[in-house]
Amino acid sequence: MSFALRKFDDQWLALTFPFTNERLEKVRLIPGRKWMPQHRCWLVPYTISVISYMQQNMSELKLDEGLRMELSDLQGFTELMDAIERMSPSSRPSDDEQSKPAMTEWDDEERKRMVDALLMRGYSRKTIRVYVNHLELYSQYVKEKQYRWSGKYISSYTLHLAEKKCSSSYINQCISAAKFYFIKVLKEKNDQPYIRMKKEQKLPSVLSLEEVKRILNALPNLKHRALLYMTYSAGLRVGEVVRLKIEHIDQERGLLLVKQGKGKKDRQTLLSDAAWQVLEEYMAEEMPQTWLFPGQYHHKHMSERTAQKIFERALLIADVHKDASIHALRHSFATHLLESGIDIRYIQELLGHQSAKTTQRYTHVSTKEIRRIKSPLDM
């Protein structure tokens, strides 16, 4: 036996091992470790990133059965353990390999190959920009560590991001970008152990109906009011509302066509009478040609950032003191429909959610049933 790891409490794991200077040096490299003389063991933080680091750098690590069973409930951890155990010692990066001078291959040519591969598979421009940016940052990390240009160090890089308190969604996105490049573009073997961080469970930000009305009517600019009315009344994403065209409006049927929304899907949603009145007044005054909400130049649509700033200004003028973005109008649309008794399956269609699980989160912020419950203080 070399290194033995067991649960100490909810925050710490206990690490024991027969003493050698070489093993001690490995332990001293574990982030956040500390020696507990009264227990004759080392304590390491009970986090997925630390366990991942130990699994990859301490080949003789053995986990207590109780700890292994507890970890098996965490998303992706079983896959990580299996992948690491399948790796032969020769496939793990050696100290000699890591110490070799950097062979940086991420350059303009590789960047173009990455972009072309993403375009061929139909990825959006926004996703392409984000993925390329992740590779740029990973390239900087590899240079600083003087590693060879390879996907072998993604796990250590994600640990580095976790220590910098990056969000789970950011880290998981980084893993997706790196896996795509090294597996799809460079054709490296898909045998590296990647672990995805557990996502934070956050409730969507929801405004009351009264707050929504104040926000929608806060701005004197007719174009800006129409933009906010359309966002809320149809439950649109900011990227969808700024890309609306006049031809997408079906006033007779009270419908709005959303072309190529998230996931490159078309869908139909509501065009309310109240929103149409404001929109009709705006169109008569401004006479937009192609884009319903053109930007500074009429041949281009309004930018998403401009739409966000319009909402932020309306939030301020309406004197609504909530930490909310323009996306809160979409959340509020879904929640208000749910509270009015609309079946969640119809709400899913209007929002364009692929999975009903995504729509079901609005049940956690709906106050319809909660308001019927009396606090013991009021009984």
Q: Which of 23, 70, 38, 36 is nearest to 51 (CA)?
A: 70
**The two structure tokens encoding residue 207:** 């405004």
Verify whether residue 248 is a known catalytic residue.
no
Separation between Cα atoms, residue 112 and residue 124, nearest integer Å: 15
Q: Which of 7, 248, 313, 327 does the annotation list as catalytic?
A: 327
Dist. CA 46–CA 8, nearest whole Å: 9
Instruction: Sort 124 into a burial class: Cβ within 10 Å, 0-12 / 13-18 / 19+.
Output: middle
Catalytic site residue 362?
yes
Residue 69 is encoded by which pair of tokens?
């069973």
Nearest Cα to 246, choosing from 276, 266, 219? 276
C-alpha torsion sign, points 373, 375, 378, 379: positive
In this structure, are residues 106 and 185 in contact, taking their beta carbons and an 8 Å threshold?
no
Q: How many CB atoms lie within 10 A of CB 252?
A: 7
3 conformational bin, left if phi > 0, alpha if psi -120 to 50, beta if neither? beta
Tokens linked to 155: 């796990």
Exactly one of 26, 224, 331, 353 is catalytic; name it.
Answer: 353
Q: Which of 225, 330, 331, 336 is catalytic?
A: 330
Q: Is 264 a catalytic residue?
A: no
Q: Exactly one of 6, 33, 262, 313 is catalytic; which is it?
A: 262
Is 353 assigned a catalytic role? yes
Q: Among candidates 219, 205, 212, which has minimal Cα distance to 322?
A: 205
Query: Which residue out of 152, 160, 237, 336 is catalytically annotated?
Result: 237
What is the DSSP-derived secondary structure letter of residue 324? Answer: -
Catalytic annotation on 237? yes
- Check if 121 is active-site: no
**Active site members:** 237, 262, 327, 330, 353, 362
